[in-house]
Amino acid sequence: MPSHKEIQFSKPELARYNRHIIIPEFGLEAQQKLKAAKVLVIGSGGLGSPVLLYLAAAGVGTIGIVDFDRVDDSNLQRQVLFGVESVGQPKVEAAKRRLEALNPHIEIKVYDTLINSQNALDIIKDYDVVADGTDNFPTRYLVNDACVLLGKTNVYASIFQFEGQVSVFNYRNAAGELGPNYRDLYPTPPPPGLVPSCAEGGVLGVLPGIIGSMQASEVIKVITGVGEPLSGRFFIFDALNFETRTFKIKRRDDNPINGKNPTITQLIDYEMFCGMKVVERSVKEITVQEFLQWQTLGEKYQLIDVREPHEYEAANIGAELIPLATVAANAARFEKDVKVVVHCRSGVRSAKAIRELEDKFGFDNLYNLKGGILAYLEEAQPELAKS
Amino acid sequence: MATVIIPTPLRKFTNNTAKLDISAGTVEEALLDLSANYPDLKKHLFDEGGQIRTFLNIFIGEDDIRDLQEGKTPLQPGTVVSIVPAIAGGV
């Protein structure tokens, strides 16, 4: 952080920040620290909205916003940064306009991108503090690791339905002691599908307002040194019964990024780490072109459609219908001595069907129609594809 | 009797009950007891090897059981056991 002592305020700024400056524990110096500070807010959604609004209002001098998304109607129930006029626009642009209207004395930098292992260090390195308001486990671990590698404090908050969590990670106190980080609290993520996301499970609109405001408050404390940041502690709030609990958390020797024997020395593939990239064996494929050629050449083959009956009824290319779920039970209907072309809508279900038949029944004559019936109709019967 | 607080994401397995009183000697016994009463909960509490899942934190009062005796941590009458899973929502 550049020396805050040189920070000057104009008359309008002094008037704006008066209610901060007159708090005895806060004063002009804390306000100078805010103006000198650079905070990166990752995710400008439910949590990012209150964080950004309050940090901008409070006079944080430089605020970076990372988000790749566009404003959607379903965001407005909780993402109070945005209004109807912002729907369809990039979130970072809409957020920047709103924040500049709120406080013209600060600088807003935007990153209209998905934060990932390639760009995270580069984006985060110029900031003093990070506020993580993202919505998935891979990004949570990515932001954590990047902050640990760069020595940045990560003010963390997370929400689900009626429940929120807050902590301050990787914070070095005045005595030089480093606090725990996300990997000390949660060494591994849940397997995909076990813990639903807000998009699947929903969230009470006001909850990110409550939790994000606490997150903003912690960011301000970390910057100014006023009060005791929530480092080494883990706060949870249940809006349903209005219960709050604060737990003690500690650094762990077996933390892979900064424990006794760190094994992570650079950013990794976080989707892989979170088990989201299931490496699936590839299956034999046939393109529509090749398939049409078989037909021209009079090649013998059997054609199977693994979609659902209603899809088949809407459009089919003369295949036998064996829906994916019933493939194993109908394995005997698949020919063994001629080539079998399996298709679905776009090629995903048919690949699954082929893998299942190969694994369970040892088929080696199954071909996945690349691009499915969509590609076939596009190529062979374009007039049908448009309907 | 210890009180176990069930987090929001797991309440669908406990008929939406948020708090359960359980007579058990240790944390692990309490979780096994819960699994016996609510079988669908079991795979969320224990992994295939029967270990408490690492994306769940269990706190006794304010303290992480990893700083106590893990699953063997004894429960006193009136102890509050909090199960706190990782959640990632933010937008």
- Residue whose entry in the numeric block shows the structure tokens 């929120």: A164
The alpha carbon of residue A384 is apart from the nearest alpha carbon of chain B, in Å, by: 40
B82 contact A CB<8A: yes
For residue A8, what are the CA distances in angstroms to A1, A2, A11, A29, A168?
15, 13, 10, 11, 29
Q: Hey, of A52, A141, A194, which one would you mutate to test binding to chain B, going by the most B CBs within 10 A of its CB?
A: A194
Write phi, then psi, for A148 (nearest 5 degrees).
-65, -45
Here the ipTM equals 0.94
Q: Answer yes or no: are the C-beta atoms of A12 and A101 closer than 8 Å.
A: no
Spatial CA neighbour of B4 closest among B43, B40, B45: B45
Per-residue pLDDT at A279: 57
Cβ distance A117 to A270 under 8 Å? yes
Contact A158 B59 (CB under 8 A): no
Taking only Cα atoms into account, the Rg of chain B, rounded to an integer number of angstroms, comes to 12
**Residue A277 pLDDT:** 64
Tell me what pLDDT residue A192 has: 74
Q: Do A201 and B9 touch (CB under 8 A)?
A: yes
Using CB atoms, which residue from B44, B87, B90 is nearest to A163?
B87
Residue-level pLDDT at B28: 94
> Cβ of B90 and A252 within 8 Å?
no
CB-nearest to B9 from A157, A196, A240 is: A196
pLDDT of residue B8: 86
CA proximity to A182, closest of A275, A252, A108: A252
Q: Which of A143, A146, A150, A66 is nearest to A109 (CA)?
A: A66
pTM flag (> 0.80): no
Cα separation of the two ends of chain B = 39
Residue for token pair 């020395």: A265
Q: What's A251-312 look like in SS3?
A: CCCCCCCCCCCCCCCCCCCHHHHCCCCCCCCCCCEECHHHHHHHHHHCCCEEEEECCCHHHH
Tens of each residue's pLDDT in chain A, 387 residues: 558 889 999 999 999 999 999 999 999 999 999 999 999 999 999 999 999 999 999 999 999 999 999 999 999 999 999 999 999 999 999 999 999 999 999 999 999 999 999 999 999 999 999 999 998 899 999 999 999 999 999 999 999 989 999 999 999 999 999 999 999 999 988 877 666 666 667 889 999 999 999 999 999 999 999 999 999 999 999 999 999 999 999 999 999 999 999 999 999 989 888 876 655 678 999 999 999 999 999 999 999 999 999 899 999 999 999 999 899 999 999 999 999 999 999 888 899 899 889 988 999 999 999 999 999 998 887 766 544
- Residue of A337, A330, A284 lying closest to A305 (CA atoms): A330
Which stretch of DSSP H or E encloses residue A247?
A: strand A243-248
Listed residue (A167, A183, A160, A95) closest to A132, CA to CA: A167
Question: What are the CA-CA distances from residue A263 to residues A3, A151, A255, B66 (Å)?
Answer: 35, 17, 9, 21
CA A244 to chain centre: 26
Between strands B2-5 and B19-22, the pairing is antiparallel
Nearest to A139 by CA among A216, A43, A231, A265: A43
All structural domains of chain B: 2-85 (3.10.20.30)
Q: What is the pLDDT of residue A193?
A: 66
Decide: residue B42, CB within 10 A, 0-12 exposed, 13-18 middle, 19+ buried.
middle
Residue B79 has pLDDT above 70, yes or no: yes
Interface test with B, best of A186, A214, A253 (most B CBs within 10 A): A186
pLDDT at A383: 67
What span, in angstroms and rounded, lies between the C-alpha atoms of A57 and A217? 12
| Res. B23 pLDDT band, cuts 50 70 90 | very high
Is the CB of A137 less than 8 angstroms away from the CB of B9?
no
> CB distance from A160 to chain B under 8 Å?
yes
Q: How far apart are the first and last CA of chain A?
A: 60
